[in-house]
């Protein structure tokens, strides 16, 4: 090992420490940038001599470590360019380089500020680097020794696409998610919660692409994982997807409702069923008001009593999960134009002190919608 490579390895450890702890002291970020730029310049200034002293693998280790430093992205691109020009061996570092290239290109797409369609088209090209990485991993001689990189690829793909999981956008990406999900299942990745989370996003893409059979198979796959591994962290999200997916299948909805009603009330699934049924259009418009009223009185039987209480400054004790359900219900009431009901829920929740972050977000959204509706009324005069 050369002196330069030994120094570089030691400095990469230091660089990693500074980046990992930059939130504790803003000065650490500048120290990290300083270290990266010092070795980047040292390598790039006399490239031929440098590549005689260090392996090309070190270029990828340095670039990967520095990736969180957005100020260094252009120099990381140069390191990747040097690596691909010098290296033809399709080993694990080559796979890491392809994955890093995809991440870098995705940031460049964001910087361009393109329109949605153009951005999606460029993103598809960017994701080809991940596809190439998966092709190398899938080779029989690589499957076992490179399987850990499948997990990395899934994380990077999710992070690249997370702002694109929207209606009419998600449908463009089911192929890459499908490929990675199949890999995760094939290697039986131990993080089954992540596998389920990834499958849920794949289902979202399938639904957006109107691929109902594929959605059903993915849901069955999730059910199979849960049977083998136990309950997952995303039970509520999965439950809601099942309702949405089955929205045109009364028999399936009936079974889901029976399942929800059989669970302990404190899990909230019987109320999630009502809320998601309204969201997914299962409940007709002319029945929604009655469903909202019933839900509110079931979640908190004394709701009307507290609204009529003259001592309106007194705080109300209520389980956090109940407050969260009321907050979501209030938001849906406003969206469905039941303004008085939504206002009552908002007034009630102002006296509750047990809201979770999720509940507070719904309350703020509810507040915003109430303000917007009041402004619309004023403008109409």
pLDDT over 90, % of the chain:
61
- 364 within a domain of the structure (yes/no): yes
Measured between alpha carbons, how far is 4 from 11 in angstroms, rounded to an integer? 10
- Give me the domain span that covers residue 354: 292-381
Higher pLDDT, 93 or 375: 93
Report the number of secondary-structure helices (H) and strands (E) in the chain: 19, 0
- 17 within a domain of the structure (yes/no): no
According to the model, what pLDDT value does residue 64 have?
Answer: 96
- 327 within a domain of the structure (yes/no): yes
- 346 within a domain of the structure (yes/no): yes
Of 16-30, 76-90, 143-157, 362-376, the poorest mean pLDDT is in: 362-376
- 372 within a domain of the structure (yes/no): yes
According to the model, what pLDDT value does residue 63 have?
Answer: 97
pLDDT over 70, % of the chain:
97
What is this structure's pTM? 0.77
- Partners of 352 in the β-ladder: 316
Chain centre distance of CA 193 = 13
- Out of 120-124, 248-252, 309-313, the most confident range is 120-124
285, 232 contact by CB (below 8 A)? no
- 341 within a domain of the structure (yes/no): yes
For the chain, the domain total comes to: 1
According to the model, what pLDDT value does residue 361 have?
Answer: 86
Start-to-end C-alpha separation, the chain: 80
Quick: pLDDT tens for 266-316: 989 999 999 999 999 999 999 999 999 999 999 999 888 887 775 566 788
According to the model, what pLDDT value does residue 376 have?
Answer: 63
According to the model, what pLDDT value does residue 310 have?
Answer: 53
Place of tokens 């509750």: 352
- 282 within a domain of the structure (yes/no): no
**Which residue pairs from 368-372 have beta carbons closer than 8 angstroms and sit at least 24 positions apart in sequence?**
369/331, 369/334, 369/335, 369/342, 370/334, 370/339, 370/342, 370/343, 370/346
- 352 within a domain of the structure (yes/no): yes
Mean pLDDT of all residues belonging to the chain = 90
Higher pLDDT, 377 or 272: 272
Of 39-48, 62-71, 227-236, 238-247, the poorest mean pLDDT is in: 227-236
Confidence grade of residue 227 (pLDDT, cut at 50, 70, 90): confident
Quick: pLDDT tens for 158-206: 999 999 999 999 999 999 999 999 999 888 888 888 999 999 999 999 9
């Amino acid at each position: 090992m050369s002196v330069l490579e030994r120094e570089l390895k030691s400095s990469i450890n230091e660089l990693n420490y500074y980046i990992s702890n930059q939130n504790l002291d803003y000065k650490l970020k500048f120290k990290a940038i300083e270290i990266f730029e010092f070795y980047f310049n040292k390598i790039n200034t006399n490239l031929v001599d440098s590549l005689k002293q260090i392996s090309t693998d070190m270029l990828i280790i340095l670039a990967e470590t520095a990736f969180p430093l957005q100020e260094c992205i252009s120099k990381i691109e140069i390191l990747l360019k040097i690596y691909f020009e010098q290296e033809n061996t399709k080993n694990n570092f080559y796979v890491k380089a392809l994955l890093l290239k995809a991440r870098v290109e995705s940031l460049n797409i964001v910087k361009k500020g393109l329109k949605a369609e153009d951005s999606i088209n460029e993103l598809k090209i960017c994701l080809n680097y991940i596809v190439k990485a998966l092709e190398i991993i899938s080779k029989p001689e690589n499957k076992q020794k490179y399987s850990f990189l499948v997990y990395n690829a899934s994380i990077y793909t999710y992070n690249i696409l997370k702002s694109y999981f929207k209606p009419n956008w998600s449908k463009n990406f089911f192929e890459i998610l499908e490929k990675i999900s199949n890999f995760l299942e094939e290697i039986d990745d131990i993080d089954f919660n992540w596998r389920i989370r990834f499958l849920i996003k794949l289902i979202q893409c399938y639904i957006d692409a109107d691929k109902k059979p594929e959605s059903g198979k993915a849901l069955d796959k999730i059910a199979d994982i849960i049977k083998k591994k136990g309950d997952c962290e995303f039970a509520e999200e999965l439950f809601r997807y099942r309702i949405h997916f089955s929205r045109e299948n009364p028999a399936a909805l009936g079974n889901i409702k029976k399942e929800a009603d059989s669970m302990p009330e404190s899990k909230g699934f019987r109320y999630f069923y009502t809320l998601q049924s309204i969201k997914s259009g299962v409940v007709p418009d002319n029945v929604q008001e009655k469903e909202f009223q019933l839900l509110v009185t079931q979640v908190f039987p004394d709701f009307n009593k507290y609204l009529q209480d003259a001592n309106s400054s007194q705080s109300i004790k209520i389980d956090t999960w109940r407050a969260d359900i009321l907050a979501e219900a209030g938001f849906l009431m406003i969206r469905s134009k039941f303004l008085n009901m939504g206002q009552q829920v908002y007034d009630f929740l102002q006296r509750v002190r047990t809201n979770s972050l999720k509940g507070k977000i719904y309350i703020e959204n509810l507040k915003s919608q109430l303000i917007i509706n009041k402004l619309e009324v004023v403008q109409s005069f």
